[in-house]
Structure 1
Amino acid sequence: MLVAEKQELSLPLTPFRDDSPLDLSLENVREVFPITRSRAYLNNASIAPASTLVMSAMDHFMSDVRDNGRNRYPLWCDYAETAIKGRVGAMIGAKASEIAFVKNTTEGLVTVANGLDWRKGDNVLLPDIEYPSNVYCWMKLAKLGVEIRWIKARNGRIELDDIAALMDSRTRLLSLSAVQFSNGFKQDLAAVSELCSKKKVLLNLDAIQWVGNQALNLAEIHVDFLSFGGHKWFLAPIGTGIFYCNEKSIDLLDPPSVGYHTVDRGEAHMDYILDYRPGAARFEEALVNFPGIWGLDAAVRMHLAVTPIAAQEKIASVVSYAAERLQSRGWRIISPRSHPGETSGLLSFTKESLDVEKVAKSMNSAGVDLAVRAGALRISPSFYNDESDIDRMMAALESC
């Protein structure tokens, strides 16, 4: 039976106590994304469309605020801290105590950049094809005498040997995207983690193009810090995100912003003692975005129902189908795809002398959504997409 026909899939009116698994799978998850009825939406690496489950969760939370004001505020806090963070942890292989809610990836990256005790002469390693969020916060450290060492991409790849060649005794941190936004290159996180551990260099990941696209188990690799916004592959509301801080690394960061929620004083508002909350919760300095977090929780439950591994395999299948069809029609694939393990859910492609901006605009008018990145067209199908979306894209490309 299709999900849309099953009324019990709606999240219950009591928003802070629903731990039941969703009756979802790859076979029926498309039904909870209304956009699929009118568009071939292939731009999940930018902003993903909302599902009915996310919308319902946010509506139910706001209904509680409407009817009860702040009376259930302690229950919201407890549920977010335990149940929701617990489910996020289950999805990425982390402990609930290692997770903080943030507004976006940038907030997590800035927390690391502004929270470490930098010394003049320290250096940070960055790929030269990073998204700006993972560049500007490190550039700002120049006033402290911190140097950026740029890892030059080779054919769209960030090679492990090139990372290692730049490391020295003053290399404090490597910060890189787990999946590159422009071409979908997927980093070998286990190899990078092993290198950083061997060299005693902190590892910070921008994981917004990974989580929800690729399965992740942080219990299997050492990552010091990791950030991702909810609005892309995670299929959560805009203005939500996760900052992960490994419990072994938490004392390396001094919270750059502090407030009422940084400490654990309860209702003792005038008991001015700046003692940080245990775990990553200390990085939540004020009231968090509860409506968005309830929507994020619905997205997490959806991912857990489908399972991250099954989602990764479905995405890979759709991307492979797209690559085959594109190449058969003379399109050139930009994304690195020749080496095992380097492909992800992003696929960039082009043709010679093509006005990609014009093509993207024409595609949008035809009901097909993609992006232009680094001078090429880019698609990013999620697990709710299928081959029919690629067929529609190919038909629209033929008419451009």
Structure 2
Amino acid sequence: MLVAEQQEDSLAITPFRDDAPLDISLANVREVFPITRRRAYLNNASIAPASTPVMSAMQHFMSDVRDNGRNHYPRWCDYAETAIKARVGAMIGAKQSEIAFVKNTTEGLVAVANGLQWRKGDNVLLPDIEYPSNVYCWMKLAKLGVEIRWIKAKNGRILLEDIAALMDSRTRLLSLSAVQFSSGFKQDLAAVSELCMARKVLLNLDAIQWVGNQALNLADVHVDFMSFGGHKWLLAPIGTGIFYCNEKSIDLLDPPSVGYHTVDRGEAHLDYNLEYRPGAARFEEALANFPGIWGLDAAVRMHLAVTPIAAQERISSIVTYAAESLQSQGWRIISPRSHPNETSGLLSFAKDNLDAERAEKDLSAAGVDLAVRAGALRISPSFYNNEDDIDRMMAALNGY
């Protein structure tokens, strides 16, 4: 899967991968996740395990740094900006120029919160069950006179009519998770997007629980800004992520953090000219996490090889199998299941008087990994998981 190019200048290792598709499919993807030989890992909505392609890509990059120092630095930048961003764009239906590399979801959310020009009296709409990353950056705007209007969740669901009811002429932005981390509720992005466009409200998505879990085509739905870390469903390294900025919305954001990479001055370090790079690349203020980005690229290539639609269908099949198995043993499913368009790869479940923390520890000791959220157990299988993992979980739950 990896190639080493021989160069005339005797630089033996280069950090570039063969752009041919990976020989990975649903039939064999489990083989490249070593953790599956020891554990039933059902916690991909938290931190996903590393695959051999991701590990190999990162090692290949670091081998180049070991042998050649910074000699290939210009080529790293060019390859990341062109080939890798193009593949990320292909996965989510975005243009290469609309993508910036970030450390995590929070960094992208903060870029929006701190980059917009706020006016006293503006308001932001937030669901009241958001992950903290999509809360604190907006709370900090109170000192500028910006109000948060909380959308009340109903049984873990965020309803379109409840969003609309809070909008007025001073509503500047709606920021919400595309998939809710605790309930697994999947937002109807098309409907939300149409509402925001009709009301002239900016739409900002925390998509870390969507990308890699559900297929996405941003060419079909208008989103102004979107952020997602790589370490969950994308199956990429910790410390990597993507910030998407719609080309039609980019001039609304002033990069809150600027540096050498914000501009395009090459090696002219003393030619000070704060003229932003075109496109979303202006939000990359300094040297990027290239080893992690190479690992992220391997993960993206794996998703493209499997295809996002096939991955979504596989995940849905496993979750359905889990829900049916759990219900047959008296477990109560908390995640929305009555509306097929609202279901995702996260499944929360509980029983009366359940000690969820104790159950999670017992399952971990039995080689089954899941999470506790809001007093319930939560699984998040990826496309490398299978029904055997669910059967192992059910066996470990026997007696609860």
TM-score when normalising by structure 1: 0.97
Matched residue, 1:263: 263
**Residues 11 and 313 of structure 1, relative CA distance in 2, 3 Å threshold:** farther
Matched residue, 2:312: 312
Identity of aligned pairs, percent?
A: 86
Distance in 2 between residues matched to 1:267 and 1:156, nearest whole Å = 52
**Residues 168 and 61 of structure 1, relative CA distance in 2, 3 Å threshold:** same
Is 1:292 the counterpart of 2:278? The answer is no
Matched residue, 2:224: 224
Alignment of 1:111-130 (within 5 A): 111-130=111-130
Please state how far the C-alpha of 1:182 moved relative to its aligned partner.
0.2
Q: Give the AA of the match of 1:100.
A: A
Distance in 2 between residues matched to 1:182 and 1:17, nearest whole Å = 37
Contact 1:120/1:145, CA 8 A, preserved across alignment: yes
Alignment of 1:1-400 (within 5 A): 9-10=1-2, 12=4, 14-399=14-399
Contact 1:121/1:170, CA 8 A, preserved across alignment: yes
Q: Give the AA of the match of 1:74.
A: P
Matched residue, 1:5: none
Contact 1:17/1:79, CA 8 A, preserved across alignment: no
For these two proteins, the number of residue pairs brought into alignment is 392
Q: Give the AA of the match of 1:101.
A: F
Q: Give the AA of the match of 2:33.
A: F
Q: Deviations over 1:85-124 (max 9, x none)?
A: 0000000000000000000000000000000000000000
Aligned Cα RMSD in Å?
0.8
Distance in 1 between residues matched to 2:311 and 2:205, nearest whole Å = 21
Contact 2:2/2:18, CA 8 A, preserved across alignment: no
Contact 1:11/1:56, CA 8 A, preserved across alignment: no
Distance in 2 between residues matched to 1:196 and 1:142, nearest whole Å = 23
Q: Deviations over 1:8-62 (max 9, x none)?
A: x456563224211001100000000000000000000000000000000000000
Contact 1:11/1:57, CA 8 A, preserved across alignment: no
Q: Give the AA of the match of 1:247.
A: E
Q: Give the AA of the match of 1:223.
A: V
Distance in 2 between residues matched to 1:226 and 1:89, nearest whole Å = 13
Please state how far the C-alpha of 1:339 moved relative to its aligned partner.
1.2
Distance in 1 between residues matched to 2:271 and 2:16, nearest whole Å = 29
Contact 1:318/1:387, CA 8 A, preserved across alignment: yes
Please state how far the C-alpha of 1:199 moved relative to its aligned partner.
0.3
Contact 2:3/2:17, CA 8 A, preserved across alignment: no
Contact 1:11/1:53, CA 8 A, preserved across alignment: no
Distance in 2 between residues matched to 1:229 and 1:216, nearest whole Å = 15
Q: Give the AA of the match of 2:136.
A: Y
Please state how far the C-alpha of 1:399 moved relative to its aligned partner.
4.5
- Name stretches of at least 5 consecutive residues in structure 1 with no aligned partner: 1-8
Please state how far the C-alpha of 1:246 moved relative to its aligned partner.
0.1
Q: Secondary structure at the match of 1:310?
A: helix
Q: Give the AA of the match of 1:356.
A: A
TM-score when normalising by structure 2: 0.97
Distance in 2 between residues matched to 1:117 and 1:10, nearest whole Å = 45
Please state how far the C-alpha of 1:205 moved relative to its aligned partner.
0.0
Q: Give the AA of the match of 1:77.
A: C
Matched residue, 2:10: none
- Name stretches of at least 5 consecutive residues in structure 2 with no aligned partner: 5-12
Please state how far the C-alpha of 1:345 moved relative to its aligned partner.
0.1
Q: Give the AA of the match of 1:302.
A: M
Q: Deviations over 1:287-312 (max 9, x none)?
A: 00000000000000000000000000
Distance in 2 between residues matched to 1:306 and 1:255, nearest whole Å = 35
Q: Secondary structure at the match of 1:341?
A: helix
Contact 1:91/1:216, CA 8 A, preserved across alignment: yes
Q: Secondary structure at the match of 2:364?
A: helix
Q: Give the AA of the match of 1:176.
A: L
Distance in 2 between residues matched to 1:270 and 1:212, nearest whole Å = 42
Q: Give the AA of the match of 1:347.
A: L
Matched residue, 2:7: none
Distance in 1 between residues matched to 2:133 and 2:311, nearest whole Å = 26
Distance in 2 between residues matched to 1:288 and 1:301, nearest whole Å = 20
